[in-house]
Structure 1
C-alpha cells in the first residue's frame, strides 16, 4: 500500500464498521496507483491538484509525494501551479506552490522576470472561436463589455492549455479532475479539449476517477454525465 492510500485505511472505525466502503475505496485507489491509460505519476498529480482546490493540503502533499516517488519530473509537477491559477485562482495556485516547494525543495525556486505580452486586435476572439467553435455567451459578453478582460482570459487560458510542459491533453485532463471534484459542468468542455488533443475515453474516465478520493462518488456521477454531454 502506498503512502497516499494510508490515511483512510488507517482509520480503525472505517476498518471495523465500513469494510465494504474501504474495499471499494481501495479499488478506486488502485486505478490511481497503477499505470493504466494514464501513468500513475500524472494521476497522483491530478489528485494533488484537486485536493488543493478542495482545501485538503495534507492529502495534496501525500499525493504529490507519491507522484515524486514514482518519478514525476519536477517541471511537470510544477505545471499545476499555472493551471490552478487559471482555473481556480491565486489561492489554490499558491497552496499548491507551497506544497510543491516542500516536495521538490532543490528545484522548486525559479528566479525570472515578468514579461509583458501583446495581444493583437481580434486575437482573443479568433482563439475562442477556434477552441469552442462558437462564441460562448460569457466570453462574448466579456469581449464586448471589458475587452482587456477578454485578452486576459485568452492569455490565461492559453497559458494553461498550451503554455506548460504538460502535453495539451494532460493539461486538459488535469482540469477534468479538478472540475469533476468541484461537480462542475465545465468538465465536459475540457473533456472535449482532451479528446481533440488525442485523449482516449479511458484516459478521460481515469481523470474523472482521480476526483473520487477527493470528492467522493458524486464526482464520478457528475463526470460521467459530462462525458456523455461532450460526445453528443
Structure 2
C-alpha cells in the first residue's frame, strides 16, 4: 500500500472518504492525493456517491458508468466498471439486457465494445441463436399508439418516420418495447443508465426524456440524480449542467 493510501485509510473515522475503497485507481493508489489532497478528497466524495450503495445500489451505478464509458469510447474504464458491477452483484442476464439498451441508444459499434467487456468481465462467450424468429405483428397505427402511450403525445420526429419510413418505425418500436419494458434488466435501471449515458454526452434533451421515463418506472429524484452524477467520472463535471437541466425540465 502506498503512503498516500495508508494516510487516506487513517482518515476513515473523519468526514473524509476512504480513497482506497473506491473504484478509481488514481484515488486508490494515491496518485491524485500526491498532486493535491484537496482535489483528491473532492473527487473521492463524488466517487462515494457513484461507487457505494445509496439511492441506487452500487452494482447498478457501476453498470451505468460502464455503459457511459463504452459510449464515450473508453474501453479500459468500461471493463473496470463492468468488472466492479459483476463483483457487486450484477447478473449476466442483466448485463446482456443493458447491452441492448446501449445498442438502441448508440448503435452497433458501441454495442460490440460493450458486449466484449461483458464477455471479459464474466469470462464467457456470447450465446448464438439459430431459432426461428417469431412473427411480430405491428403496423403504423400500432407504432403511433405506442408512442402516444409512452409520451402522452406523438412527437414530430416520430410522425416523420411514420410518414416516410414506416418499416423503420416498426423496427424502432420493437426494439424500444423490449429495451424499456421487457428487458431482463428492470425498466427503472434501463431508464437510469440512459440518463447517465446522455448526461455523459451532454444531452439535456435526452436526459429529460429518460428522467421522465425513470419517474414513470418508479425512480425517485435521488435515484435520477445519482444516475446523472455517475456521468462525472466519465465526462467530468461538465456533464452535470446538461444532466441537471434534463432533470429539472422533467420536473416541469
Fold shared by both chains (TM-score > 0.5): yes
Give the match for residue 197 of structure 1: 217
Partner in structure 1 of residue 161 of structure 2: 142
Q: Deviations over 1:87-124 (max 9, x none)?
A: 01001111001111011124x42132362533144111
TM-score under structure 2 length normalisation: 0.86
Contact 1:43/1:207 (<8 A) preserved: yes
- Higher relative contact order, structure no. (Cα contacts within 8 Å, ≥ 6 residues apart): 1
Q: Does 1:225 align with 2:245?
A: yes
Classify the secondary structure of the residue corresponding to 1:36: coil
Deviation track 1:52-80 (CA, whole Å, cap 9, x = no partner) reads 00010001111111111112111112222
Alignment root-mean-square deviation, CA = 1.7
1:38 is paired with a residue of what secondary structure?
A: coil
Any idea what SS the aligned residue of 2:126 has?
Answer: coil
What residue ranges of structure 2 are gaps of 5+ in the alignment? Answer: 1-19
Native 8 Å contact 2:22 2:51 kept in 1: no
> Residue in 1 aligned with 2:171?
152
Higher mean Cα deviation, 196-205 or 27-36? 27-36
Q: Is the 8 A contact 1:9 1:22 kept in 2?
A: no
Q: Secondary structure at the match of 1:118?
A: coil
CA contact (8 A) 1:2 1:66 kept: no
Count of equivalent residues: 230
Where does residue 32 of structure 1 map in the other structure? 50
**What is the CA distance between 1:19 and its match in structure 2?**
3.0
2-11 vs 36-45, which deviates more? 2-11
Q: 1:2 to 1:111 in 2, by over 3 A?
A: farther
Cα distance in 1 between the residues matched to 2:66 and 2:27: 16
Superposition TM-score, scaled by structure 1 size:
0.93
Q: Which SS does the other structure have where 2:24 is aligned?
A: helix
Does residue 63 in structure 1 map to residue 81 in structure 2? yes
State the distance in 2 between where 1:119 and 1:30 align.
46
